[in-house]
Chains A and B, each alone.
Chain A
Amino acid sequence: MATVEHAAPLPGGRLVIERLVYWYLLAALGYMAVSLLGGLLMALQLINHNPLSGIEFFSPARWRMIHTNAIAYGFIANSFLGMLHWAVPRLTMRPVLSVRLSYFIFAAWQVVVLGTAGGIVAGYAQGVEWGETPVWIDPLAQVGLLLVMINFLSPILKTKGPMYVSLWYFMAALPWTFLTYGMGNFLPQYALSGVGSGALTGLFIHDLVGLFVTPLGWGLMYYFVPILLKRPMWSHGLSLVGFWGLAFFYPLTGIHHFLYTPIPMFLQYGAIISTIAVEFVVTTVIINFIGTVWGTSGEVLRSVPLRWFYTGMVLYFVTCLQCAFQATLTFQQLIHFTDWVVAHAHLVMLGVFGFWILGIMTYLFPRLLGVEWYSERLCEYHYWLSAGGMIVMFLDLTFAGIFQGWSWASLQIWEHSIQLSIPFWVVRLFAGLAIIAGQIVFGWNLYKTWQRSRVGSSAMALAEAN
């Protein structure tokens, strides 16, 4: 049985709390399962085959909010926190501020996510998209994010000399996440109303993707891709352009979520122009990563984690290219409020950041458990089922959106747009089932790998005893 070397001992004693990384990743997968069930329930409702119809605590509309919140705060946030615990001490050669604080944050964050889920299921959501966290959870989450920032800034600030690209992204993302959460969850609730709060919630929705998920995701890519390829990034200059371009343009795009609302037109135009600018920045980042993998003679096809990463990057380019078009007033006329947007959101959250996270998990679990994957073949199934399901779902919902938009604009009776959507929604259900099947395969593979690690460690203990 092949075993993988544990993280190499680095100067300064124990650097990475591996158990905590492992816990974070397991928690993330647990919430992903919950989220997938929520999505499945909504998909069944949309074709009028909801088996739990009429049960208050299984209301598909409430579980639709569980679906998005469990992905954002359960799956993505937990994964990223775990992966930061893996990457930041390695990049800075220093442990995080406090091990105890780290465990406390882990526990507190699970309270936040479970509290959010409980609040939403009980019917106490807050009226901010991606911020449905009930108002009484918000202060706790805000404190949690402050502690996260302190815990990770400490090793980063203590290092001397130049910082690696990943650390730029992490260092900026920590205050961004803290500020974004506070802005979106408190101001529209207590300070602002009406159109002004619309502009602000648009800013929040976009900052949450652009200033929390995106920089942490890219920071991890700048860390894991060179490590897996054993070669440096292609161009440091492009890394600089990518980071500063994203930092400047990304936050300015928020209002593009609410085009044609009564929000003043000059603000809408500003958001559209910065959205298009983001696309140029993204292109430089993608070129940099393609330059990095260029000439490795198909390493990206052979290595499953790298394949996850680069699939995510191609889909990231697709989403951002799509953004540059769909955020224009011309496209908005047709596709706003349709399933096109739903397709886009799934492509970003699962197809890009979800895939990166699953790729990093595929790389990390053998290192955390100390054994190779139980089955490489199952890792392949995980990849192909997820990627296949994702791409089918994306194309299906994108086309559905176009037809819905045409149906509405041509003043057909409303039911027409529902009737024409049903076939698309059926296809979406099966695409979703493929994605779910992929994750079940992954879970099974992980379980068998864990069993193997137990056998391995008891065999080792036996050998030591003898």
Chain B
Amino acid sequence: MFESRSGVFLIAGVGFFSLAFLVNAVVPWMMYRNQPEQTVEETLNRNVLRQMQDLSDRYRESFAKHFGEPPPKPERTEPPEALAEKWGARDRFFRTACADALRLGRSVYVGEGCWHCHSQFVRPVSNESRRWGPVAKSWEYNNELQRPVLFGTRRVGPDLSREGGRRGNDWHAVHFYHPRSTSPESVMPDYPWFFEAVGTSETTDEYGRRRTERGPIAPNKRGFAIIAYMQWLGSQLDDYGHYDSVEAMPIQENRR
């Protein structure tokens, strides 16, 4: 048996593989079969939607180009029915846009290899719950955006599973463009391909020559997506926002 062809092929090759599959894959699957997988839409919550609205206000033109113009905020003086309908339309718009952005954001996160330097789980040891927030629970991972799960493998940069709401969208934009401008010690690569120039403007220089200048830099679709994904991480937790939050810069009206 131990040296025969059938023994080696069937017992070792197929049998032991199946045993390990049973123990290490089927057993955990059976244990979690009653926890249904949430869709992206089901994971949306007030925290991440608020950040999505902030993105649309902050980078108005660029956001409208990639996700469409959000329905305007109703005036307070409007009658209650109109008010409810307009707020509802606005909510539906942001839910759709946010789900789109999160799906793309996850694929950007995977495709850019973010998960090879950033983990997404907090361990119950090594003072991690004091640094990051509550220890990871299994329900956090039962959703479409964790298929396959992104526990991560190395922490060159910090854990991101409680990153949502910790910093403002403007911080993330600057940080993705050139990480060392916000974190001087960072070794993270620059991601200028998450950004694009919005429009051009005609100016006249001191010699009277006309010049065409690129407009200000704003996130492109991938940029919005990855920022929304950052803000989604941990946004479902009860103690969201209990971290060392960095306040977002107030939006300046003259920005495009």
Mark A residues whose CB is within 8 Å of B. Answer: 45-48, 50, 53-54, 56, 59-62, 64-65, 123-129, 153, 156-157, 162-163, 167-168, 171-172, 174-176, 179-180, 183, 187-189, 192-203, 207, 211, 240, 243-244, 247-248, 251-252, 254-255, 257-258, 260-264, 267, 270-271, 332-334, 336-339, 341-342, 405, 408-411, 414-415, 418-419
Contact = CB atoms under 8 A, between A and B. Distances in A.
Contact of A157 (B5, B110, B140, B152): B5
A258 B120 CA distance: 12
Given A244-B2, A409-B126, 13 more contacts: A54-B190, A61-B189, A162-B3, A189-B148, A193-B141, A194-B146, A195-B142, A207-B17, A262-B136, A334-B126, A337-B119, A337-B155, A408-B126
A54 B29 CA distance: 41
15 contacts: A124-B111, A163-B3, A163-B5, A168-B12, A193-B141, A193-B148, A197-B147, A207-B20, A244-B2, A247-B11, A257-B153, A261-B121, A338-B155, A409-B127, A415-B185
A195 B138 contact: yes
A175 B5 contact: no
Interface in B156-187: 156-158, 180, 183-187
A60 B126 contact: no
Given A192-B147, A262-B137, A267 B186 contact: no
A411 B127 contact: yes
Interface residues of B, number: 76
B16 A247 contact: yes
B141 A195 contact: yes
Contacts of B29: 192, 196, 200
Given A62-B113, A251-B16, A333 B126 contact: yes
Sorted nearest first, the 5 A-B pairs with minimum C-beta distance are A251-B20, A61-B113, A188-B148, A193-B147, A194-B141
Contacts of B155: 337-338, 408
A201 B149 contact: yes
Contact of A193 (B8, B37, B115, B186): B37
Dominant SS at the A interface?
A: helix
B255 to A, nearest CB: 24
B147 A262 contact: no
A405 B17 contact: no
Contacts of B241: none
Interface string B95-129: 00000000000001011111111010101111110
Contact of A64 (B113, B128, B148): B113
Nearest to B115: A127
Interface string B42-57: 0000000000000000
Contact of B32 (A129, A195, A339): A195
Nearest to B32: A196
B246 interface: no
Interface in B189-213: 189-193
A420 B8 CA distance: 49
Contacts of A264: 28, 31
Contacts of A198: 141, 149, 151
B40 to A, nearest CB: 12
A201 B148 contact: yes
Contact of A247 (B12, B23, B117, B143): B12
Nearest to B110: A127
Contact of A65 (B116, B152, B187): B116
Given A172-B13, A188-B149, A244-B2, A200 B112 contact: no
Nearest to A413: B185
A194 B123 contact: no
Contacts, number: 230
Contacts of B152: 337
A71 to B, nearest CB: 14
Contacts of A175: 9, 13-14, 17
B27 interface: yes
B192 to A, nearest CB: 5
B5 A156 contact: yes
Contacts of A126: 110, 148
Contact of B28 (A45, A196, A418): A196
A195 B183 contact: no
A460 B154 CA distance: 56
Contacts of B190: 53-54
A47 B186 CA distance: 10
Nearest to A68: B116
A408 B131 CA distance: 9
B112 A61 contact: yes
Contacts of A211: 17
B117 A61 contact: yes
Nearest to B123: A260
Nearest to A199: B28
A45 B110 contact: no
Given A125-B111, A337-B155, A168 B3 contact: yes
B138 A194 contact: yes
A262 B124 CA distance: 10
A172 B156 contact: no
B2 A203 contact: no
Given A175-B14, A197-B147, A61 B116 contact: yes
A251 B17 contact: yes
B35 interface: yes
Contacts of A127: 110, 115, 148, 150
A99 B12 CA distance: 28
A415 B183 contact: yes
Contacts of B158: 414
B130 interface: yes
A268 B131 CA distance: 24
Contacts of B136: 261-262
